Structure 1
């Protein structure tokens, strides 16, 4: 049986000094006099944000905030995985797994863990486990090929079992939503319910489906906007995905060697995927929380790791990686086989202003009972609108208790 050991985040001062030196020595390119975001992150904006990162951002303060949460490392199938585990004092608290996506980390949940664990009112509380996906955020770099969503799902299930949680709820978005869905398929007896924010349709809609949707006369104005954004993303927004899913090593050198490249690579997503009513990323997300996430990717060297994670999910795992699981995730042959009798798992969805989620594409069979729509927030809901996020998670899990 694998065990966990406590973890305290401490970045060596030499690493901080190295970051400062690299930021000071940034080689800025000459650019056309175009100061909007149509060609990527504008140079004038990135220089200002880099200056703030270098001279105003207090890493030690943010490091201390993270260390207020009990953190642990567990080695599962040869890979060290970081997680936050906070138990509630409320007697009937429910276990809840929080699973971030890309380009996120457990930093996404810094504002929501405490209100979920210790609610101000007499409402349901949760024992929270926030996991760092292998090779992202605070989990150490991945040392073996094959760590895709399937393998990560098995590792997550092993971790929750190791912590003594036989049944638990899951909240997730982005890549985390894929893990949540796989948990429901592979470990249905363990999952109380799944709450997703801003899920994309799966399977991806065909060109025929989209053409029919374009001609539909019952689309609401909001759905029309989302459809247009979805089409724009298909045309213009998948460049990061195409590069990382085909040549992760090539892009990885830049992400690992240049903090400004890492900053630009992530902050572009904060601009494109946050509340469209906000002009700049720091208008939607606290600038220090934003830079804490970027800093984690930099200090842990996980920019390249994130690219590899995306690559792994585009191609089948090599046979050696699949065979590693045959003995069971915790060494006792206890993996679920996926052959369990079909079981309906309650699902809730929260859609925020920047999301492209259209219900008829996501809820094709009408089985999603809890569906909330908000006119603010976006892809990073736990960071952008933590109060709305917590309230909706709580409402959903209260409804299925």
Structure 2
């Protein structure tokens, strides 16, 4: 590995941990609105349940489990980048870069590492690299506001060079589904293939008549859900894209504000809707991820990088020519005809009855099977 890479160990200060529990114990919840349901946010009864769950979560045990994952930091243009890196013992393993989204972190992929690096039989094996996006988690503090997907892509390509990987594949979801194909555009000669879950970085609320005419019935349903999202759920994008510092100030001082902001999406974006976040995503992720954002005070910087970049919405990029695959789970909204405008789609999988935004946590085997089938085809 490059000399600029430094081993990283996670250990939150005892005082920070005690302060979190003091704040949770002193929680002051509002009076519930009439009905106390999910129509206007997290119901107070559910919020109290989540606060109790976070208070009971054993962070030190979580740290010990995470210590088994080799982690490192490096620096690009003054920005610290944190990442996990686990090599397979298989000689034919494919280097794989995994890119998370919001409100996630590198923790989304931790549960997949063993199955990726040490598969059963002759399934493709991977050398796994999982960076934290700039401004997220331990890739903080944010040194600059200028982090469009193209710059993130260039930094992650350089990370793979520092690790000695000349050729590699990329997988991502949410923000990662925007960064992954951009890496193919930054260095197409190095990227074996791009695999995403969910939409390929595009957020399309309107389609032209020609595209609408060829949609499948389930794609019409996806557009219906996009319109409902624009009507009922767009507020978080408006705030994160225009006032990330305001959000950061609010949640840096209140763990319950941090919890409510993310718990709403944990529930709304996982499948089925009736499942609790712990049931859908696992307690280690929902509370460990909350702790990651809380202890690093990174909600504002994550919002700035993920949502407040100029040119992040609406621009149609050029096709890199890199073979690209996508899997759309039940909650996803990807439209193949739109994705094909700027990507070389060689595999497209629609799953109608399972899975949501957090595919690596909700449907890890199905995601991994689709990724392996794609890599095998290349």
| TM bracket, shorter-chain basis | over 0.9
Residue 212 of structure 1: how far off its partner (Å) = 6.5
Residues 174-253 of structure 1 aligned to structure 2 (within 5 Å): 174-200=174-200, 202=202, 204-205=203-204, 207=206, 209=208, 216=213, 219-220=216-217, 222-253=218-249
Question: Taking CA–CA contacts closer than 8 Å with sequence separation of 6 or more, which of the two structures ends up with the larger relative contact order?
Answer: 1
Residue 343 of structure 1: how far off its partner (Å) = 5.4
Q: Are the counterparts in 2 of residues 2 and 76 from structure 1 also a CA contact under 8 Å?
A: no
Determine helix, strand or coil for the equivalent of 1:207. Answer: coil
Question: Using the alignment, how far apart are the partners of 1:255 and 1:184 within structure 2?
Answer: 35
1:62 paired residue number: 62
1:387 paired residue number: 365
Determine helix, strand or coil for the equivalent of 1:188. Answer: coil
Determine helix, strand or coil for the equivalent of 2:142. Answer: coil
Is 1:138 aligned with 2:134? Answer: no
Shift in alpha-carbon separation, 1:277–1:235, aligned structure 2, 3 A: closer
1:299 paired residue number: 295
TM-score by length of 2: 0.92
Residue 108 of structure 1: how far off its partner (Å) = 0.2
Residue 274 of structure 1: how far off its partner (Å) = 0.9
Q: Are the counterparts in 1 of residues 322 and 344 from structure 2 also a CA contact under 8 Å?
A: no
Residue 53 of structure 1: how far off its partner (Å) = 0.8
1:260 paired residue number: 256
1:264-309, Cα deviation, whole Å (9 max, x unpaired): 1111111111113543222311123211111100011111211221
2:93 paired residue number: 93
> How many pairs does the alignment contain?
372
Residue 311 of structure 1: how far off its partner (Å) = 4.6
Question: Using the alignment, how far apart are the partners of 1:295 and 1:206 within structure 2?
Answer: 34
1:346 paired residue number: 323
1:319 paired residue number: none
1:19-44, Cα deviation, whole Å (9 max, x unpaired): 00111112211232222211011111
Is 1:163 aligned with 2:159? Answer: no
Q: Are the counterparts in 1 of residues 72 and 82 from structure 2 also a CA contact under 8 Å?
A: yes
Determine helix, strand or coil for the equivalent of 2:111. Answer: coil
Is 1:83 aligned with 2:61? Answer: no
Residue 46 of structure 1: how far off its partner (Å) = 0.8
Question: Using the alignment, how far apart are the partners of 1:351 and 1:102 within structure 2?
Answer: 17
* Higher mean displacement: 373-382 or 92-101: 373-382
Q: Are the counterparts in 2 of residues 251 and 304 from structure 1 also a CA contact under 8 Å?
A: yes
1:359 paired residue number: 336
Q: Which runs of 5+ in 2 are unaligned?
A: none
Q: Are the counterparts in 2 of residues 147 and 312 from structure 1 also a CA contact under 8 Å?
A: no
Question: Using the alignment, how far apart are the partners of 1:4 and 1:396 within structure 2?
Answer: 31
1:47 paired residue number: 48
Residue 218 of structure 1: how far off its partner (Å) = 5.8
Q: Are the counterparts in 1 of residues 178 and 200 from structure 2 also a CA contact under 8 Å?
A: no
Residue 150 of structure 1: how far off its partner (Å) = 2.3
Residue 180 of structure 1: how far off its partner (Å) = 1.1
Residue 235 of structure 1: how far off its partner (Å) = 1.5
Determine helix, strand or coil for the equivalent of 1:371. Answer: strand
* Higher mean displacement: 294-303 or 283-292: 283-292
* Higher mean displacement: 94-103 or 274-283: 274-283
2:27 paired residue number: 26
Residue 377 of structure 1: how far off its partner (Å) = 0.8
Shift in alpha-carbon separation, 1:219–1:390, aligned structure 2, 3 A: closer
1:9 paired residue number: 10
Shift in alpha-carbon separation, 1:268–1:213, aligned structure 2, 3 A: farther
The RMSD of aligned alpha carbons is 2.2
Residue 117 of structure 1: how far off its partner (Å) = 0.6
Q: Are the counterparts in 2 of residues 2 and 74 from structure 1 also a CA contact under 8 Å?
A: no
TM-score by length of 1: 0.87
Q: Are the counterparts in 1 of residues 150 and 183 from structure 2 also a CA contact under 8 Å?
A: no
Question: Using the alignment, how far apart are the partners of 1:315 and 1:213 within structure 2?
Answer: 24
Shift in alpha-carbon separation, 1:315–1:197, aligned structure 2, 3 A: closer
1:269 paired residue number: 265
1:118-138, Cα deviation, whole Å (9 max, x unpaired): 102221100000010011123
